[in-house]
Amino acid sequence: MECSSIALENGLDLRQVLTTGSVLQINTEYDDTCYSNDVDKSDIRQLDVIGQPVDSIKALETNMIVIDDYGFVKKQIIEEGGGCTPQDDNTVSIAFSGYWEGDSTPFDTKAIYKPMVLDLNSSGLLPGLDMAVRSMLVGETSVFVLSYQVMYGEMGIPPRIKPRSACIFYIKLLKCVITGKNGKIDFSEPNMFRRIEHEVKLLYSSGSVLFKSNNFSAAIQLFKKGVSMLHKCRLADENEERSQEMLLNKLYINLAVSYNKTKEPLKACVACNELRRLNNYWNNGKVLFQNAKALRMIGQFDIAENRLKKALKLCPNNIEIQHELCQLKKDMERCNQNRLIVEKVASSSSEVVKEEFKKEIDNLIKNFKENSDLYKLVMPSGLNSFEISYIKEACIRENLFINKIKGEFAFDRCEESHGENDYNVGSHENFALDKFKHKSSNDDFEEILQNL
């Protein structure tokens, strides 16, 4: 029987466990899947432990600074973070590993993909760990040497906790948010928007700090949670509608940027589609740029070029847009699927696949596979069944996939048009080269094509 995991609201004080006892409070709102997207299950053992064994504390301390008044807590930053240090009214998520000097395995760990969540106002942390966490910034990883005076005391808890021993803790501060004070939100209740607005602003602020510290996956989780809360909320008047729309715009823009950072262009396109529904698209150079970047990664070169040119008109001095245009032209040259039709290599009447066609396909697939920024590539319509069969064979040879797309999309949408007939659907079947097999990815792709 498999047991489900739980998260404690507060930390566990080992001294209380052995003396007066300790009350465990379970955090029912904690989502332990928050950091699971980045984890390959085959690598879980490696991710369980951060840091490494320490043979000599004295040698380690040579590069450390003292962060308390008595020299009991010493610190060395391994990876810089950003934002502000945690305060009493914050709830933090941390991963850590604790070592004894000379031991090859840690005596205590908490993994990145399933962090410990603590309300610093009543965390129950040992003083040394509390001072260590409060000295950190979000995204930071540091190693600490903690004296027995601020940890487990002179006696320790043998055999697991050694007497009078300093310990080494590697800690990563994953998240820091302001602790909610009004209990769980009931989205069905009226007049809840102002409270939800406040919570979402905190999520947005924390997500921005995570983004700046390059913790994009964690930032995405906070932005998504904010979007979900806003969509669930009941609105009382037009003022609340405007406030909701303003926050949704900020969150979706940050989601588009973050998804492009994590190389998830389909999700970035979905975020941009939401911005178009919010009427914050054609007049926003930043959104057009992010959408174009995502469209390039899924092989929609012509539309990406159209978006970039419009973005450049809105932001004529933007160097990023200019660089993206250069990258787009390189990708278009190397992976020009339209060359199959333009050069009249493909023939709908021939039952024999021409050698020129085979060479074009082989070269196209080779360039597609070698381009690490390209994930999908739509084949032109008008290919006959023999030519499609050859493409499938070539994909098998190169360990790629080819997926069928419902309908034929002409991709001739007018910029100012917003009607349902903005793309043409014909009788031909269309196919797309794909580096991933997942059906959900292909379904998302079809939805994106229909909204271009």
In terms of residues, how long is the chain? 452
Tell me, what's the pLDDT at 309? 93
- Alpha-helical (H) ranges within 236-318 are 238-261, 265-277, 285-297, 301-314
Report yes or no: 91 and 25 within 8 Å, Cβ to Cβ. no
Q: Which CATH architecture has domain 14-41+51-178?
A: Roll (3.10)
Rounded CA gap, 178 and 87, in Å?
A: 9
309: which DSSP letter? H
- 404: β partners: 431
pLDDT at position 88, please?
A: 86
pLDDT at 261: 92
Give this prediction's pTM. 0.55
Which residues are CB-contacts of 74 (< 8 A; sequence separation ≥ 6)?
61, 64, 65, 66, 67, 144, 145
Query: Which residues fall within 8 angstroms of residue 333, CB to CB, at 6 or more apart?
Result: none
Integer CA distances (angstroms), 295 to 170, 181, 408, in order: 40, 42, 18
* 371: CB partners within 8 A, 6+ apart: 331, 334, 335
How far apart CA 218 and CA 212 sit, in angstroms, is: 11
Q: How many other C-beta atoms can be found within 10 angstroms of the C-beta atom of residue 403?
A: 20
- Which phi-psi region, left, alpha or beta, contains residue 146 (left: φ > 0; alpha: ψ -120 to 50)? beta
> Could you give the CA distance from residue 356 to residue 345 in angstroms, rounded to a whole number?
6
Cα 394 to Cα 351: distance, rounded to the nearest angstrom? 18
| pLDDT tens, N- to C-terminus, the chain (452 residues) | 444 445 554 555 555 555 555 555 554 444 444 433 443 444 444 446 789 999 999 999 999 999 999 999 999 999 999 888 998 888 899 999 999 999 999 988 999 888 888 888 876 788 999 999 999 999 999 999 999 999 888 887 777 777 888 999 999 999 988 776 656 666 666 678 888 888 888 888 878 877 887 888 888 998 999 999 999 888 888 999 999 999 999 999 999 999 999 888 888 989 999 999 998 888 999 999 999 999 988 888 889 999 999 999 999 999 999 999 998 888 888 776 656 554 444 444 556 777 888 888 888 888 888 887 777 777 777 777 888 888 888 888 888 888 776 543 333 333 444 433 333 333 456 777 777 765 545 555 555 555 55
Cβ atoms 193, 234 nearer than 8 A:
yes
- Determine the pLDDT at residue 141: 95
Q: Which listed CATH number (2.60.40.10, 3.40.640.10, 1.20.1730.10, 3.30.1370.50) goes with 344-413+426-452?
A: 3.30.1370.50
Question: How many angstroms separate the CA atoms of 360 and 84, rounded?
Answer: 55
Q: Which amino acid appears at position 158 of this protein? A: P
For the chain, the structural domain boundaries read 14-41+51-178, 344-413+426-452
Angle between helices 216-232 and 238-261 (to 10 degrees): 160
Q: Among 287, 294, 290, 288, which residue's Cα sits nearest to residue 266?
A: 294
Strands 116-119 and 376-378: unpaired
Q: What is the pLDDT of residue 313?
A: 92
Structure tokens at 10: 């507060």
133 Cβ contact list (under 8 Å, min separation 6): 86, 92, 94, 118, 120, 125, 171, 173
